[in-house]
Structure 1
Amino acid sequence: MKYSVFTVSTPDLTPDALCAEAQAAGLHGIEWRCKETPEALRSEPPSFWGNNRCTIAPDIAPDEIAGIRENAERHGLRNIALVPYLTCGDVAGTERLFRLARTLGAEMIRVGVPGYDPIVGYERQLASAYAYLDEVDALARSYGVKALAEIHHGTIIPSASAAHRLVSRYSPDRIGVLLDPGNMVHEGMENYRMGMEILGPYLAHVHVKNAGWHLSGAGTDGRGHPNAAHAAGDGNGAEPAPLDPIAWQCSWRPIASGIVPWKQVLAALKAVGYDGWLGLEDFSRTYDSGNMMRTFVRQMRTWEDELQ
């Protein structure tokens, strides 16, 4: 498989610096975060979703996008995806970024998926997503760039089966699914291989990150709750407070230290014949950007070799 990095996870690097670090780490491709950075954020420290210095502005000048494309090529890297934060239904904005993705030389672009709203209801939101993807399908055909619907908690496609229901009426040549097991820790977890089998030819890309659950509430770690020992698996007898459910919270973890068993996921990907991209998207803040990329490549190569 081929290795890429989504630049949302490298906010301290400029695009030029990212290309040099990615090449040194042994990566093959880049997924570019695409979003406006308000002027008020530019004086803040680098952050994933704030002052992210490794971000392409939607209104980037033609000479700047040409420079980014040429710099990646000079470092032996492919610009595999443009990853904006599009709203489902914004066809004009989506076409503008399809045009940018083609100029960048990207083969994929992330498109909008509705966040689940129980007031609106799933069926109505699914219908609106179909109406939008009907337009996206035509754009993908016209611009020669594949649209990606990302499996993400809080949306109408938190799982592989839900994602398949959304995209299965379209050609997998034009619309595919971005499988994200790390997001599925938060919501949408299914048997990994079964999910891949359900997606079939719609499995277009994979993001690699991890997450885990911990007790929350009193003392921020749940230890002040009377049921904390039982929640941790150390309690005996009846729960002290059976009518007071304990709270849990999900947060990001390093790739080897979360709930997703990545060696098992890689084995499942190999079993279903996936030979596409594995895209690094680590939000754990465990490593600086350079070490994060080098560690990722070492992990993926080692674990893939162990599956031979």
Structure 2
Amino acid sequence: MICSVFTVATPDLSPQELLITAKNAGIDAIEWRCTRISDSIKNDPPSFWGNNRCTLDPESSPELLADLRAATDAHGLRSLAVVPYLTCGDLEETERILTVASALGASYIRLGVPGYNGSRPYGELLEEGRTYIREAEKLARRYGIKGLVETHHNTIAPSASLAHRLVEGCNPDHIGVLYDPGNLIHEGFEQYRMGLELLGPYLAHVHVKNAGWTPVTDSTDPLEPASWRCAWQPVAGGIVPWKQVLADLKAVGYQGAFGIEDFSGALGSSEMLQLFVRQMHAWWEELHTSE
């Protein structure tokens, strides 16, 4: 089993601190968050999507990337992915991220996917997304790095089946799907094994987190439906039945990595990584001993 960490989940650590913490926790690989952080928030407290100290700038110098690659190697770790926030259709920025990934020796980057809010027809957005992904595939092939579409709420790929519509027809050696069951709790849930079977060779990577629904308002009036809110939970505490998901992944022959992306805030970064490694290995071993 390969355990990785997406550094969006460790905002309080610098890249060098993350390498030490990850190694001590038993992590095998790193997925580097990659985006520009505005100077206006660099003095803010660390946060997942704000002043995240474990974030690489897409315009990092070759020297900085070479040093980071050497430091990662020195800790016995590897860079698994570079994870940006690409806009669908932005091939120039996509290639920029590919150069960062190449410099770090990473295997994957995350591609852009059109968002969905009802303001534009799905069919139009699907065609736009498919056009971009096919051009991104050419770049991915050139760099020898796989581009991934993530199952993510508020996009046109909230489920395995809708992600499959985006990548269908692409070469799975160059384009794949990042399967995220935690995101499916927000939007896009479907039977886990069915989705995994549908993805087939496109299943490239798995993110591990969890979420749950809580009522915002209760209603005794049948004409006034109750409202609910979805929020992040610890890996073992949300709706995703991770033991079952692991069993389904094993059943379809998944051999890739498991990347922690815990946004619950229940534990500090070091404790969260240690618990994640313990959980994954214990649950995976349980599957094998029960055969």
Distance 2:13 2:60 in 1: 18
Q: Quote the residue 1:183 is aligned against.
A: 183
Q: Are residues 1:289 and 2:235 paired?
A: no
Distance 1:276 1:130 in 2: 25
Aligned-pair distance for 1:117? 3.7
Superimposed CA distance per residue, residues 200-239 of structure 1 (whole angstroms, 9 cap, x where no aligned partner): 00000000000000001xxxxx3xx3x2xxxxxxxxxxxx
Q: Quote the residue 1:147 is aligned against.
A: 147
Distance 1:213 1:117 in 2: 21
TM superposition outliers: structure 1 runs of 4+ over 2 Å: none
Partner of 2:236, secondary structure, is: helix
Q: Quote the residue 1:196 is aligned against.
A: 196
Unaligned runs of 5+ in 1: 217-221, 228-239
Q: Quote the residue 1:75 is aligned against.
A: 75
Aligned-pair distance for 1:154? 0.4
Partner of 2:190, secondary structure, is: coil
Distance 1:7 1:54 in 2: 6
Unaligned runs of 5+ in 2: none
Q: What letter corresponds to residue 55 of structure 2 in structure 1?
A: T
Q: Quote the residue 1:29 is aligned against.
A: 29
Residue of structure 1 aligned with 2:227, choices 238, 247, 267:
247
Distance 1:161 1:52 in 2: 32
Residue of structure 2 aligned with 1:278, choices 228, 233, 258:
258
| Structure with greater Cα Rg | 1
Q: Are residues 1:307 and 2:287 paired?
A: yes
Q: Are residues 1:103 and 2:103 paired?
A: yes
TM-score, normalised by the number of residues in structure 2: 0.98
Partner of 1:48, secondary structure, is: coil
Matches within 5 A, 1:203-222: 203-216=203-216, 222=217
Distance 1:287 1:293 in 2: 9
Q: Are residues 1:132 and 2:159 paired?
A: no
Superimposed CA distance per residue, residues 144-201 of structure 1 (whole angstroms, 9 cap, x where no aligned partner): 0000000000000100001111101101000000000000000000111111000000
Aligned length: 288
State the percentage of identical aligned residues.
56
Aligned-pair distance for 1:61? 1.2
Q: Quote the residue 1:47 is aligned against.
A: 47
Distance 2:205 2:89 in 1: 23
Alpha-carbon RMSD across the aligned residues, in angstroms, is 0.7
Distance 1:283 1:67 in 2: 29
TM-score, normalised by the number of residues in structure 1: 0.92
Matches within 5 A, 1:113-128: 113-128=113-128
Q: What letter corresponds to residue 246 of structure 2 in structure 1?
A: L
Q: What letter corresponds to residue 243 of structure 2 in structure 1?
A: K
